[in-house]
A and B are shown apart, each in its own frame.
Chain A
Amino acid sequence: MKKIGFALLFFLFMSQTVYADFDMQAAIDAARPGEIVHIPAGRYQGNFIVTKPITLQGEEGTELIGERDKPALRIENTAKVTVENITLSGKNKAIVASDVDGLELRKLQIKDVHTGVHIQRSKNVRIHEVNVAGSEAHYSQKGNGVAVFKSEDITIEGNTIERVQDGIYVEEVTRVVVQRNKVTSSRYGTHFMYTSDAEALFNTYLHNVTGLMIMMTTDILLENNTVANHFDFNGYGMLLYDVQQAKIKLNTIKNNRTGVALQKSSNIQIETNDFQMNQTALEGTKVNGDTTASSNNFTGNILTARSDKQGFQLVSNYYDDYSGIDLKDNGFGDIPYVAVSSFGQWMVRQPVYQYFVASPSVILLTSLDQQINKTEKNMLIDNTPRLVMKDTKEKNKVNMVQMLVGLFLTLSSLWLWKRGITE
């Protein structure tokens, strides 16, 4: 009997505490503008709402659980709200913010929800250090990790998102920075639609259907991202559809079915990227002539570039399959590199041909193409192919703080050691 009592006591102490005596909504309602509402550790079930400028601050073990099909937390018609250090879960959306000017979401854990964060008609929003983990279901059954609609001045930074529909979904937003996020195992890593003045920097996209999906967007910079392992039947590292004015630079694009695809787009500058081991590195359909791929490194790709009749410009890239020589000794090959491939163009029309891409007959056809197309003058020609890879990334960067701390510790240790010997 005594043993059973101890066992029950053990489970009582081990189970998660529910603070029935702390009424979270009442605390929010009672808080004055600018106040911090501390939420003790515990599980709080309900649909909470914030309509005033306050900070909701949880502690380790603070969890909000949305009831029924409503969001766990709504923030509406207010300004300067901060939500931090809280775990959220529930059937529908974790957080919905509407018409908010000045919102900060940080250090949040979101799990087992349909959609993580949903922002609409808001401005000056910063979402950082938020982890969203979706369920194991197919992405068509799930919502987005972080979604922002009809808003402006948005920063989405340092978040980790996995197993959702679109990791970060941005629609009709002006001025948005998406940086240092990691999105894996989702449909699209980041999906921009009808957005202008956007930046995606230093993000990592792995094992999604497509890493970066950019649609009907103007003026976008994609820089220093790692986009890898998007090799499904419809997989792309980056897909730009109906995009005007984009700069794609210093990205590592590797092991994708198609590295970068451009469709119906104009004025796209693709420069100093590393294209490695993609089935097709670069693809363009209905692309305007002002689109240029320059100073990129193409290594280990099965097809370097393919396009429809319009093509695009290749300028001073490095190609590992270029076999020309440099008699002028200026670092550039003396004969043009021709990327035109009959098979590549067939693949543009019939994607299902991709399954034959490395077959002996296709390899033979591609070799023949390279010989025959030496006379090609207009399409997918690089007249100045570089012979040496351009190392575009800064290497061996010295971290001064780390170096000084290390030096101090070394000298201190030596001094202590010497002192120990002399004593």
Chain B
Amino acid sequence: MKKWIMIVMLCCAVLMGCSEKTYEPREIVSETDVCKICNMSIVHNEYAGQIALKNGDYEIFDDIGCLMEYIEANGEDEVGAAYIKDAAKNEWIDVIKAVYVYNKDYWTPMNYGVVAFDTKEAAQEWMVSEGEGQLLAYTDLHDFKWGIHK
């Protein structure tokens, strides 16, 4: 019997070792966190983003535009997971699953005018109060022209 228990435990240990590594977002520390791209201190947490790298490091961003600039420059190979704050709830959401809205008059730390939400309904609700915008998906952000638009 003992032998079987040992074998089961060994199998569990091997399976755990093989399981996919999970990545959790970490909280922003306003005292020390600065955007990896533009160097601005993170003071508007509701627009912040972060990338959990496969080596365990985190890169922090003040705006989704800076996060995308990092991905464009470094590729996605070393990215374990990427998160952006839901502008309405101030909670971390997966950048790939997030729904984005663009309006040149929405203020964001870099003034790129792109904000993120967890659902399409939340994005629609935002547009009702803050002004109509263009709905975007993560894939659209790769071709998005980051900058201010007149």
Contact = CB atoms under 8 A, between A and B. Distances in A.
Given A140-B30, A172-B148, A234-B34, A241 B111 contact: no
Given A139-B43, A140-B43, A213-B40, A234 B148 contact: no
B38 interface: yes
Contacts, number: 37
Given A138-B30, A215-B38, A234-B34, A194 B43 contact: no
Interface residues of B, number: 14
A241 B38 contact: yes
B90 interface: no
A209 B38 contact: no
A215 B111 CA distance: 11
A193 interface: yes
A234 B32 contact: yes
B30 to A, nearest CB: 4
Contacts of A233: 32
A339 B137 CA distance: 47
Interface in B70-125: 111
A194 B39 contact: no
Given A193-B111, A194-B111, A234-B34, A187 B39 contact: no
A180 B148 CA distance: 30
Interface of A: 138-140, 165, 171-172, 187, 193-194, 209, 213, 215-216, 233-234, 236, 239, 241-242, 261, 263
24 contacts: A138-B30, A138-B31, A139-B30, A139-B43, A140-B30, A140-B41, A140-B42, A165-B43, A172-B111, A187-B41, A187-B43, A193-B111, A194-B148, A209-B41, A215-B38, A215-B40, A216-B147, A216-B148, A234-B32, A234-B39, A236-B39, A239-B39, A241-B38, A261-B39
Interface of B: 30-32, 34, 38-43, 45, 111, 147-148
